[in-house]
Amino acid sequence: MAVKGERVYVADPAHLHKLASELTKAPFIAVDTEFMRERTYYPRLCLVQVATESVCAIVDPLEVDDLAPLLDVLADTRIAKVLHAGVQDLEIFYRLMGSVPTPVFDTQVAATLAGFPQQVGYGALVREVTGVTLDKSDTFTDWSKRPLSGTQIEYALNDVRYLPAVYEDLRGRLEEEGRLEWLRPDFERLEDPGSYEVVPEDTWRRLKRVSSLNRRQLGVLQAVAAWREREAQRRDIPRKWVIGDESLIEIARRAPSDPDALRQIRGIGDKLSGKGAEGMLAAVEKGLAIPDDQLPGIERRPRRVPEGDGVVDLLAALVRIRAKQHNVAVPLLASRSDIERLAGGERDESPLLTGWRRQIVGEELLELLDGRLSLRIENGQVEVTPAEETGG
């Protein structure tokens, strides 16, 4: 098997078995995918790239029908799988394997605890760690077309070629700072199969303008959105190709009972006819039949502290102080929404009061809210002190 940096293009079963045998010797493997999704519901896998400290390869799933040897490696819990912003990659593997590759290490997530900005790009990490500037000219290429050019292959290989070096650098920094375990909850969420399961009856919650509907209309929306999701899955097309979001909202609002009433809704046109119209109308009827006590509702957010009273800004100031002190991206430590909810009294499920976030700033935020901690200006700097020291 070729050494790291050389092109290895796997397009037949024999070479795939050879590559898989090589990968099983490594303690970790870098993984990336290239896929197309513009015209399908499910992503169409076009390439899988893998790398270790000695191997850098592309597997072509359009040439190799059976990826089982590679998937067995991904399922091996002795081998860490290193990805960058790997949610979509893991979704693809979950669909292929029926399980999520574990354990995982996402370098984008890890980088935020090593002092990098939130959602830092792969290219920026590679440049910082290795000094290499990646060519991104093939970012919007059509990966489903064959043959691939040399520049396309090189682009794809680069997406994993430097990932082992980035992984080892980040892991070393976090181990030295005692932060590696802080990542465990984030990685466990990535490894959770529930993160990649689509529940059709829950898809209505992602739509806009739902707050304009009453509970009965929400019941209809739940039913018609679930029908659309299953129809998109069945036909393997984008959900909006079945029917657009705005049309769904109007169907829920009007609850049409026959094809003529359905066609009067803007955006329906020829998208729903024949069995499609029958299926949608049956979904409307199903939504109308939901018992009153089982109708969905919109969760009301807890009381928010008014912006003008300064409580949220005071808490945010403390968050910024601790984020800078610990070299952690502010949004990773606490979002504005997290702070507002805590200020409004929501403590039971606050992410600020669990794990490493509680350790860095959560406890102090509670003390500040309870009047046991103060912020004051000292020599031009904001200082955090116990309230009694200020006479409070």
Annotated active-site positions, please? 32, 34, 89, 155, 159
- The alpha carbon torsion through 142, 146, 151, 155 (nearest 10 deg) reads 60
Helices (H), the chain: 13-23, 68-75, 87-97, 107-112, 122-130, 150-161, 163-176, 184-191, 215-235, 239-242, 245-254, 259-263, 275-288, 311-326, 330-333, 336-343, 355-357, 363-369
* Neighbour count for residue 266 (Cβ, 10 Å): 9
Q: What is the DSSP letter of 140?
A: T
Rg (CA), the chain: 26
DSSP string spanning 331-363? Answer: HHH--HHHHHHHHTT--TT-GGGSHHHIIIIIH
Tell me: cis bond preceding 27? Omega within 30 of 0 counts.
no
Residues 6 or more apart in contact with residue 293 via CB below 8 angstroms: none
Structure tokens at 259: 């094809």
Going by C-alpha positions, the residue among 122, 121, 79, 128 that lies closest to residue 104 is: 79
